[in-house]
Amino acid sequence: MIRTDLIAPVAELLKRQALRYPHKMAYADPNGSVTYGELESIVTKLATQLRALGIEPGTSAGIWLPNSVDWVVACLAVVRAGGVAVPVSFDATIPEASYRFEDSGSLALITTSDRLDAIGAAAPRTVILTDGDGNGEKHSFRNLCSTPVGGITLEADNIDRVSYIVYTSGTTGRAKGVMLTTRSMLWVTAACWAPILGLDESDRVLSPLPLFHSYALNIAVLGILATGASEYI
């Protein structure tokens, strides 16, 4: 039986799980964890900050981070702001990463200091660092996640618009950006992961999958959120 109840906007899923399981661990990594109540709050705050930084509906933001809770928060916040998340492998070469940011038209980049130093002037105009305090044109991820921007109203994200651009490996030619919607991604959870694999709120999942890949984005990010399971990344 297809679980169509699991197919909903990210905003709705965040609120749903925050109300059902406010103190339950949603995602964890070696550096910490976040509950569903905290996740909804942090993602919403960051989304208002992204709006203030120019991530309007339909604009793209690159995510160049290692597997982590920060990765999940960044991805969900971009979508919550109405933007298009562009995940890139943390092990991508500078030419590979630069091409993806330019090709997708990414206006912002969420990354680490070492990756920013490596890419230099090829980075998108707005940079958010998960390991920096922020200065000048660089912003602190921690600071943005802690304080919402007043006066910004976030409408519910549209699950039928492009919300993710995931690049192919490029083994048969130049990598191509595949445009994905939240509805198309969650159909896999509704038709496969939940009814066939049995993924539900009682599960604790151990995931070694690279989150930038569509497979991991599907089951290890959106699938966890939709079902209310818990995951160690």
pLDDT, tens digit, for every residue of 217-226? 999 999 999 9
Contact 42, 26 (CB under 8 A): no
Residue 190 scores a pLDDT above 80:
yes
- The mean per-residue pLDDT over the stretch 120-134 comes to 90
- Residue 61 tokens, joined: 């933001």
Contact 73, 46 (CB under 8 A): yes
| pLDDT at residue 229, rounded to an integer | 98
| pLDDT at residue 106, rounded to an integer | 97
The pTM for the full model equals 0.96
Please state the separation of Cα 17 from the chain's center in Å. Answer: 17
Work out the burial of residue 203: count CB atoms within 10 Å of its CB; fewer than 13 is exposed, 13-18 middle, 19 or more buried.
middle
- Residue 106 tokens, joined: 């990414």
Instruction: Give residue-wise pLDDT tens across range 57-91.
Output: 999 999 999 999 999 999 999 999 999 999 999 99
Please state the separation of Cα 172 from the chain's center in Å. Answer: 27
Q: State the pLDDT confidence band at 133, using cuts at 50, 70 and 90.
A: confident
Residue 169 scores a pLDDT above 90:
no
H or E segment and range at residue 144: helix 141-146
**To the nearest 10°, the Cα dihedral for 163, 194, 66, 16?**
60
- The mean per-residue pLDDT over the stretch 90-94 comes to 96
Instruction: Give residue-wise pLDDT tens across range 17-58.
Output: 999 999 999 999 999 999 999 999 999 999 999 999 999 999
